[in-house]
Chain A
Amino acid sequence: MAKRIEASNVSSYYGAFKAIDSVSMTVEPKTITALIGPSGCGKSTFLRSINRMHEVLPNARIEGSLTIDDQNIYDPDVDVTAVRRMIGMVFQRPNPFPTMSIYENAVAGLKLNGVKKKSLLDEAAEKSLRSANLWDEVKDRLDRPGAGLSGGQQQRLCIARTIAVEPQVVLMDEPCSALDPISTLAIEDLMFKLKDRFTIIIVTHNMQQAARVSDKTGFFSIDKTGDPGRLIEYDDTQKIFSNPTQKKTEDYITGRFG
């Protein structure tokens, strides 16, 4: 199921602006990797480069290579939609499709990929909603609008929608930053559960969250505004938060940044 991701010398650009410079890291299957760092340091850009969502923005491009189980996802022959199916993404703000019901949201990805059989869809909807710890809360109102749920429920619905297509990797871009602490905890519990099946990479501003959930942590930083972001240090979470090798990392996690 879960696959290994290897980034080597990835640089991402918005037009002429270089957002991240030469990032290399290897993410092992079935682990949770947290990306931390100050705003604007390129964590999200790097995350979006992993499933080729970066190039959705006008003039955005990338250099370097990104492989998933030794297959280069930026190979010109590779179908970009296949990459995105393999590498799912959960966004910062919950974004269920507003015109769809809870059920329709959960199976939206499957329908996009041509699954039509009602029994298969029903099964997948229940399975993914259960996996997202949402089933018990919504099973009696699957036909209600997905956007009518609370923020935390919406985000879990988005996670259900993402994992319903059985991706290999799940990317999460600050998935809890718009949520209250209880919903945040629910999502963190969920991440532990999903770790058995997926490789998870999460961008977070919350260092306690990174320390709580992740196996490995990558610290991104910039020298000054306008400079590209760099991966300063990437190591076991334990090590990063107890004994970082870089001064910058230590300053950041102890709150002496900038």
Chain B
Amino acid sequence: MGDYPSRSVNATAGDLGVTPRHAQGAGYGSSPSNHDEPPLGGGGALPKKARFSIEAGFRGLSTASGAMVLVIIVAIAVFLISKAVPALQANTGDFFTQFEWAPNEANPSFGIAALAFGTVLSSVIALIVAVPIALGIALFLSHYAPKRLATPLGFVIDLLAAVPSVVFGLWGRDVFQEPVRDFSIWLNKYFSWIPLFGGDGPFGQSIMLGGLVLAIMVLPIVTSLSREVFQQTPGMNEEAALALGATRWEMIRTAVLPYGKPGVIAAVMLGLGRALGETIALALTLSVAFDISFNLIENGGNSVAANIANSFAEANDTGRGALIASGLVLFAITLVVNMTARAIIYRRREFRDSAA
């Protein structure tokens, strides 16, 4: 096309008439074409690379932050193990099968099975109840509700996440317990042939109450993360589904849900993490029992975290060690859950990564 001006510093030769935008004539504007400094794009000899730069500083800082994670994890593990081992050695019962928690006696005897079972069962109930509702709310907010409604509603959901767990616990104990008890009695009356709803009572402070309170606590986390993920579905994929003759629900099934699946799994796992680790809400709503029972509605139930909260105050050295050992088991459970989730997400990664 035209003549490009030479790239030298004093490019006065550029023909302004032909290619004015490329011309870098001296005295044409200010700093970049000053005689003293070369223009930003270069000219003159290449400068040396700085040996100590902000760049290197940031690199060091972020590497240190990354290493910090490993240090913290190792420190926690060392602490837990060093406290737990003496108590486990003093245990006269079997840590995995004993249905009892008496670590403060002269002959300490305690087992994790009932606690671990209660933890997992209450969390599973929470997820079974919360996840479908949370996904429903998330889809409503992202794809059905008019914007004027979706924004404030999303805000309210986020607000629910900010309620401290002790408040949920008190509410569950003092308010929610009554309807749950009535519902349990009704279930027991008509469905006692299902082992889950059998028993002779008393009802109310049951694993079901604990699970339902947990469900309410898990709901906002799963909802807001899923909504975020659903909203990120590329509009052009939604349009592609609609243009193929999909109804709105079919469009969601074809484009939105598959696209959001890894995110939803991550959201559910975060919710599960909260449910597994939840302490005070369960300590307040369950009535302590040490057995493995699938009965959901009779008083009873316990969890690792709730047991730690309930027993820590009157524990002696061995007792504390035993509680720390139970904490270690909880840690192991969450680890397994998280790794499973990652494995699920990882399996389909080539489909996700190749998405434009």
Binding site for B on A (CB under 8 A): 51, 53, 56, 58, 81-82, 84-85, 88-89, 91, 93, 95-101, 108-109, 112-113, 145, 147-148, 158, 161-162, 165
Contact = CB atoms under 8 A, between A and B. Distances in A.
Contacts of A148: 350, 354
A85 B244 contact: yes
Interface stretch (B27-35, B246-254, B278-286, B334-342): B246-254
Contact of B245 (A93, A100, A158, A165): A165
Which are the 8 A-B pairs with shortest beta-carbon distances? A98-B355, A85-B245, A99-B258, A109-B244, A89-B243, A95-B236, A148-B354, A84-B245
B244 A112 contact: yes
Interface of B: 147, 234, 236-237, 239-247, 250, 254-255, 258-259, 261, 348, 350-352, 354-356
Nearest to A84: B245
Chain A interface, >50% SS class: mixed
B351 A81 contact: no
- Among A58, A88, A95, A165, find the residue whose CB has the most chain B CB atoms closer than 10 A: A95
B242 A147 contact: no
A95 B245 contact: no
A97 B245 contact: no
Contact of B261 (A89, A96, A99, A145): A99
A236 B239 CA distance: 31
Nearest to B258: A99
B245 A99 contact: no
B236 A99 contact: no
A212 to B, nearest CB: 25
A190 to B, nearest CB: 18
A99 B236 CA distance: 14
Nearest to B236: A95
A164 to B, nearest CB: 9
- Among A82, A96, A161, find the residue whose CB has the most chain B CB atoms closer than 10 A: A96
Contacts of B350: 145, 148
Contacts of A82: 245
A95 B240 contact: yes
B320 to A, nearest CB: 49
Nearest to A164: B244
A162 B244 contact: yes
B258 A81 contact: no
Contacts of A89: 243
A51 B237 CA distance: 17
A148 B245 CA distance: 25
A108 B240 CA distance: 10
A98 B244 contact: no
A246 B233 CA distance: 44
A79 B94 CA distance: 67
A100 B242 contact: no
Contacts of B351: 98-101, 145, 147
Contact of B355 (A56, A99, A101, A161): A99
A95 B110 CA distance: 59
Contact of B243 (A58, A88, A96, A147): A88
B240 A158 contact: yes
B244 A147 contact: no
Given A98-B259, A98-B351, A99-B261, A56 B236 contact: no
- Among A82, A97, A161, find the residue whose CB has the most chain B CB atoms closer than 10 A: A97
Contacts of B234: 95, 98
Nearest to A82: B245
A98 B354 contact: yes
A108 B239 contact: no
A210 to B, nearest CB: 22
Contacts of B239: 53, 56, 91, 95
A147 B356 contact: yes
Given A147-B356, A148-B354, A98 B237 contact: yes
Contacts of B240: 91, 95-97, 158, 161
A113 B247 CA distance: 10
Contacts of A93: 236
Nearest to A167: B245
B258 A88 contact: no
A96 B242 CA distance: 13
10 contacts: A53-B239, A85-B245, A88-B244, A95-B236, A95-B239, A99-B258, A99-B348, A101-B351, A145-B354, A161-B240
Given A148-B354, A165-B245, 16 more contacts: A58-B147, A88-B244, A91-B243, A97-B241, A97-B259, A98-B356, A99-B259, A99-B352, A100-B351, A101-B351, A109-B244, A109-B245, A112-B250, A147-B354, A147-B355, A158-B240
Contacts of B348: 99
Contacts of A84: 242-245
A89 B259 CA distance: 21
A82 B242 CA distance: 11
B278 to A, nearest CB: 33
B355 A112 contact: no
A81 B355 contact: no
A96 B259 CA distance: 12
A113 B245 contact: yes
Nearest to A110: B244
A46 to B, nearest CB: 16
Contact of B254 (A58, A88, A112): A112
A165 to B, nearest CB: 6
B255 A81 contact: no
A99 B262 CA distance: 11
A170 to B, nearest CB: 11
